């Protein structure tokens, strides 16, 4: 089912591009389809991973790898996620658990998760994701390597994690029988660095007033780009985004015309089809121009000594560590992007998301930034109550309309 879905998706986008209907977003979706196709090809060696695994290292070793939450998001986007979540209900999983993770477990139970060569777990960003990988490792009878990501950014932490990543490379070699190719690793790091540098440019363009960004542009962008790190596609996609935004700025087409509000989306977007972002743009002139997970928080990685760089990158990710660190990062984004209001979906079942919402709200209010806390299951569309969410979002927009602008023009 998934292989056919990704194959059809790829064919559709290729046809659209060949018909002259290309765009940055189409290129991004095309590469997602190709990644999905590789994952479900049945021939490529694949690995299921945690979100902060070094995908460029795995790509350099010829392993198609992916964090499992991607599959949850894909199942949500295709509108079939309910079947898989129900499967976990039947098996006794708590309905309060994260739907990203439940859908993946359900997909494995129903036999639509390809059997991996191995699994790489990460202790960041959440213990739920690691539990899913342990679950899958047992189900598939495959080995799981766990990267313990330290929270503190220090030389000792970097050394500790870099050593684990070296061990991880040796673990992958043992399982796949492929030796690490120094040249391939250097090339991989170069692609990652070029993509990261271009993403920095993209985010700087997005900060402009008016911003060239519409709400859809950055949906799932930063977090999924990590899957392409180490491959040329990462550079191609990033350059396509940068060129599109430059083109919009040059043409004076700054995103949505008549825009009034610049919004920051906290954590992850709603993964299934819904009309809320369109409603915000069309009825209130409000666009999401920044996402918490869209940022480059690390320096270029040294191709001659990449493990320290990989480790620094994983440690630097704002969702690794304390809520205080997250708040600091969100405040930075709010200032950089001159944000009018932040929306926190508080993904149902996410302990990190829901548990931190009070602290995040209070932290952002310290700089005068209004925050709207929602109560959304970002994956399970069966729980979606659009009317209730519309009322909250509309009231938030009316409130912003009634306030003095937070940032001086």
Q: Quote the least distance from Cβ 108 to other proteins, whole Å.
A: 28
Nearer to other proteins, 178 or 260 (CB): 260
Q: Quote the least distance from Cβ 348 to other proteins, whole Å.
A: 8
340 touches other proteins (CB under 8 A) = no
Candidates 95, 157, 297, 373; binder of other proteins (CB under 8 A) is: 373
Q: Which two tokens stand for residue 105?
A: 């477990």
Q: Which stretch binds other proteins (CB under 8 A): 17-25, 105-113, 226-234, 396-404?
A: 396-404
Q: Quote the least distance from Cβ 346 to other proteins, whole Å.
A: 9
Contact 213, 287 (CB under 8 A): yes
Distance (Å, whole) CA 202 – CA 243: 9
Contact 227, 73 (CB under 8 A): no
392 touches other proteins (CB under 8 A) = yes
Q: Quote the least distance from Cβ 191 to other proteins, whole Å.
A: 43
Distance (Å, whole) CA 305 – CA 186: 9
Q: Quote the least distance from Cβ 386 to other proteins, whole Å.
A: 11
**DSSP label at residue 287:** E
Whether the ω angle into residue 25 lies within 30 degrees of 0, i.e. cis, is no
Nearer to other proteins, 205 or 389 (CB): 389
Size of the site for other proteins (CB under 8 A): 17
Q: Quote the least distance from Cβ 285 to other proteins, whole Å.
A: 15
Find, among 360, 364, 378, 371, the residue nearest to 393 by Cα. Answer: 371
Candidates 128, 335, 370, 406; binder of other proteins (CB under 8 A) is: 370
Candidates 351, 395, 405, 407; binder of other proteins (CB under 8 A) is: 395
Nearer to other proteins, 8 or 401 (CB): 401
Distance (Å, whole) CA 207 – CA 250: 15
Q: Quote the least distance from Cβ 269 to other proteins, whole Å.
A: 19
285 touches other proteins (CB under 8 A) = no
Separation of CA 207 from chain center:
19
Candidates 358, 382, 386, 405; binder of other proteins (CB under 8 A) is: 358
361 touches other proteins (CB under 8 A) = yes
Distance (Å, whole) CA 162 – CA 151: 14
Candidates 151, 391, 405, 407; binder of other proteins (CB under 8 A) is: 391
Transcribe 39-67 into DSSP letters: HTSSSS-EEEE-TTS-HHHHHHTT-EEEE
DSSP run (H or E) holding 196: helix 182-206
375 touches other proteins (CB under 8 A) = yes
Q: Which two tokens stand for residue 257?
A: 């015309």
Q: Which two tokens stand for residue 51?
A: 């979100």
Contact 71, 107 (CB under 8 A): yes
Q: Using CB under 8 A as the criterion, which residues of the chain lie in contact with other proteins when the complex forms? A: 358, 361, 370, 373, 375, 383, 385, 387-388, 391-392, 394-395, 398-399, 402-403
């Amino acid at each position: 089912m998934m292989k056919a879905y990704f194959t059809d998706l790829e064919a559709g986008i290729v046809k659209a591009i060949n018909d002259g209907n290309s765009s940055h977003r189409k290129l991004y979706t095309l590469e997602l389809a190709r990644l999905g196709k590789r994952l479900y090809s049945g021939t490529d060696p694949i690995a299921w991973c945690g979100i902060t695994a070094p995908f460029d290292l795995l790509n350099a070793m010829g392993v198609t790898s992916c964090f499992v939450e991607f599959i949850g998001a894909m199942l949500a986007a295709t509108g079939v996620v309910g079947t898989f979540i129900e499967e976990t209900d039947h098996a006794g999983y708590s309905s309060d658990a994260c739907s990203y993770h439940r859908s993946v477990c359900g997909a494995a139970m129903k036999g639509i998760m390809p059997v991996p060569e191995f699994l790489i777990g990460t202790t960041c960003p959440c213990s739920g994701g690691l539990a899913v990988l342990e679950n899958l490792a047992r189900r598939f009878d495959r080995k799981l390597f766990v990267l313990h990501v330290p929270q503190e950014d220090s030389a000792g932490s970097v050394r500790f994690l870099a050593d684990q990543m070296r061990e991880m490379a040796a673990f992958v070699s043992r399982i796949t029988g492929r030796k690490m190719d120094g040249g391939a690793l250097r090339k991989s790091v170069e692609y990652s660095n070029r993509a990261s540098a271009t993403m920095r440019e993209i985010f700087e363009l997005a900060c402009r007033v008016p911003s060239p960004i519409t709400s859809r542009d950055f949906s799932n962008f930063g977090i999924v780009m990590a899957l392409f790190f180490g491959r040329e596609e990462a550079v191609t996609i990033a350059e396509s985004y940068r060129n599109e935004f430059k083109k919009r700025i040059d043409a004076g087409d700054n995103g949505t015309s008549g825009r009034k509000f610049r919004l920051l989306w906290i954590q992850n977007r709603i993964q299934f089809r819904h009309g809320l972002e369109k409603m915000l743009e069309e009825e209130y002139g409000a666009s999401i121009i920044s996402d918490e997970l869209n940022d480059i928080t690390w320096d270029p990685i040294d191709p001659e000594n990449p493990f320290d760089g990989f480790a620094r990158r994983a440690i630097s990710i704002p969702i690794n560590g304390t809520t205080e660190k997250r708040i600091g990062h969100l405040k930075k984004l709010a200032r950089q992007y001159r944000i009018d209001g932040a929306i926190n979906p508080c993904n149902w079942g996410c302990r990190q998301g829901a548990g931190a919402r009070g602290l995040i709200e209070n932290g952002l209010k310290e700089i005068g930034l209004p925050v709207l806390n929602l109560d959304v299951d970002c994956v399970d569309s069966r729980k979606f109550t659009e009317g209730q969410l519309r009322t909250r979002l509309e009231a938030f927009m009316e409130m912003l309309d009634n306030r003095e602008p937070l940032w001086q023009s």
